[in-house]
Amino acid sequence: MEALARNQLALAPLGAGDLIDRALRLYRRHFFVLIRTAAPPIIIVAAGWMLMSISFRQIFIVSDRSELIWNIFLSLASVGIITAGYLFIIVVMGGATRTLVAHLLRNDPVTARATYAAVKARFWGLVLASIIILIFVSFMMYVALFFTEIVVIACMFAAAGLVNILPVWLVAIVLTVIGLCAIAVLMFGFFFLVGKIAYVPQVMLVEGKGVFEAIGRSFILAKGNARRLMAMTLFTTVATMSALMLLIVFILIVGSLNGFDATNSAEWPVWYTTSYSIIGPLSSIVLTPVWMLSLSLLYVDERVRHEGYDIELMAARQLGELPDVNVSSPLGTALYSMERKQPPLPPRSSGRVLDIS
């Protein structure tokens, strides 16, 4: 069975469909382990959303000034907790990649303990890298939304001018096609830029590089990954939204059975508001491991395509790890050792006194 599992993980260049299929097969094989791995950061995010829903609701209800200030403070604190949770997700992704590579290389068991042990070894560096990634992604999202608004405004002005000379249905079809093409171009540009720093945590934990060196290394590896990264994101987003809609329907039914209007948020009790606010993070806890596995496989696939990483892993698996002889290489290592090297012992004295007189 172990040999069969190893053969099923044979490395080869992966397309978008192959990437998702391989991630789902790994997810099914290690379901409970991956859920335990993804649970801590998702629980932090859910706690932040729960605190925000309670405190933000109280801002519009309380009349005492001190309580108002306290709830505003809790709302701001909840934003920090949510941000910390998402940063933690990025950090854990690096540890998950190291666990996957160790499984491919040495057939090590896939465990949550191994992932978090790797994260602990490079925690603060991973936090810094995650902050840089989050800032960069947020800025790119702002730029994408800005250009999306420009496209929408341009389509509205074009519609106002064309409706006088063309049939309304033709104008609607033309502008819809133009708008969809513009959105597709913007999405491709967004993932093209965001994909440049997608592998920073993976490079840090698999190749042992520093934060800024890992950013440069990620830029080198990220060649032609925009379409696969976009397909992976769309798949996980649609799957997460599907799970979310099922939970929303369930909680609306619960609200109706409890005798209040579930569509009117002003009538919701605190327990219902809290439950409604955390269904989003809880729905993503099932599918976050798929995203983690997909990004890990995408990193491995980039190295297979550009550096013959499959041959390197095969050689390391058969011949063992190469000795550290201080040879620099533009390529990353198969899997760097996280054990601290002991300094060499000082030369032993022979006890003789040399007479130079």
Average of per-residue pLDDT across 144-156: 85
Q: Which amino acid is at 268?
A: W
- Residue 3 confidence (pLDDT): 43
Average of per-residue pLDDT across 9-27: 74
pLDDT > 50? residue 127: yes
Going from the C-alpha of 319 to that of each of 4, 163, 316, the distances in angstroms are: 20, 72, 5
Report how far residue 334's alpha carbon sits from residue 309's, in angstroms, rounded to the nearest whole number.
Answer: 7
Which candidate, 274, 271, 272, 252, places its Cα nearest to that of 263? 252
Angle made by CA atoms 280, 281, 282, in degrees to the nearest 5: 90
pLDDT > 70? residue 12: no
Average of per-residue pLDDT across 205-228: 85
Q: What is the pLDDT of residues 285-326, one digit of tens each?
A: 777 888 888 888 888 888 877 777 767 666 666 665 555 455
Q: Which amino acid is at 164?
A: N
Report how far residue 219's alpha carbon sits from residue 296's, in angstroms, rounded to the nearest whole number.
Answer: 16
If 0-12 CB within 10 Å is exposed, 13-18 middle and 19+ buried, where does residue 161 land? exposed
Task: Identify the residue with better confidence: 256 or 133.
Answer: 133
pLDDT > 60? residue 192: yes
Task: Identify the residue with better confidence: 82 or 308.
Answer: 82
- The answer to whether 210 touches 228, Cβ cutoff 8 Å, is no
Q: What is the pLDDT of residues 319-328, one digit of tens each?
A: 655 554 554 4
Report how far residue 68's alpha carbon sits from residue 11's, in angstroms, rounded to the nearest whole number.
Answer: 57
pLDDT > 80? residue 278: no
Report how far residue 249's alpha carbon sits from residue 255's, in angstroms, rounded to the nearest whole number.
Answer: 10
pLDDT > 60? residue 160: yes
Average of per-residue pLDDT across 183-204: 87
pLDDT > 50? residue 357: no
Q: Which range, 163-177, 189-203, 304-318, is most confident?
A: 189-203
- The answer to whether 217 touches 333, Cβ cutoff 8 Å, is no
Other C-beta atoms lying within 10 Å of the C-beta of residue 238: 11
Calculate the average pLDDT of the chain. Answer: 78
Average of per-residue pLDDT across 110-134: 89
- The answer to whether 317 touches 105, Cβ cutoff 8 Å, is yes
Place of tokens 């009117």: 264
Query: Which residues have a Cβ under 8 Å from the Cβ of 13 and sit 6 or more positions away?
Result: 301, 304, 305
- The answer to whether 105 touches 77, Cβ cutoff 8 Å, is no
